[in-house]
Chain A
């Protein structure tokens, strides 16, 4: 079964609004990463957050990690139509040597 689960599965917002996506996982991890995928394309790496970090920022992106709750969130502020994509979290489980992807959140930003 998938290690990570994202919610919501789909999110539709207006341009300029903030978008928040959540990811929950099951086992202990070394790090957690967020990726974006435009339809029919490869994945683009957004942010890596390590297990000893609680929050990271990159431009309009803010990622939090709560290892006690085994969850992470991705916040996109001041969203743009170009942010429309699917967003996946991937966990690098301790001693696993590989990443496992969640089901993804499909974000639609309406102009």
Chain B
């Protein structure tokens, strides 16, 4: 089956710093990747759709200047949380489309102190 990896799996940072999360499709190419945020005991909330070679499409209410997305290649999308604050602490999950099924990464637990 298709495999998607995320790195890092856990990150703890100080308030005001920036954190980059990588999402890679390991055995397939993905023109479209998705970034989700999940709070404890809640569902996944789509943050943005990442398209290779073009700007990401952000969902309503998601600050594009705070959550920078770069889909530089067909196997890599990155999410950078800029000037992180404690309220940004969450579980971030990416997925890659192949061809009509989304395959999810294992998630990244971000804790902002």
Contact = CB atoms under 8 A, between A and B. Distances in A.
Tell whether A and B belong to one assembly. Answer: yes
Interface of A: 2, 30-31, 33, 35, 40-45, 48, 88, 90, 92, 97-104, 106
Interface residues of B, number: 23
Given A42-B106, A42-B107, A97-B49, A88 B101 contact: no
A2 B43 contact: yes
Interface in B35-50: 36, 41-44, 46, 49
A91 B112 CA distance: 32
Given A40-B109, A43-B93, A100 B46 contact: yes
Interface of B: 1, 6, 32, 34, 36, 41-44, 46, 49, 91, 93, 95, 100-107, 109
A2 B59 CA distance: 13
Contacts of B91: 40
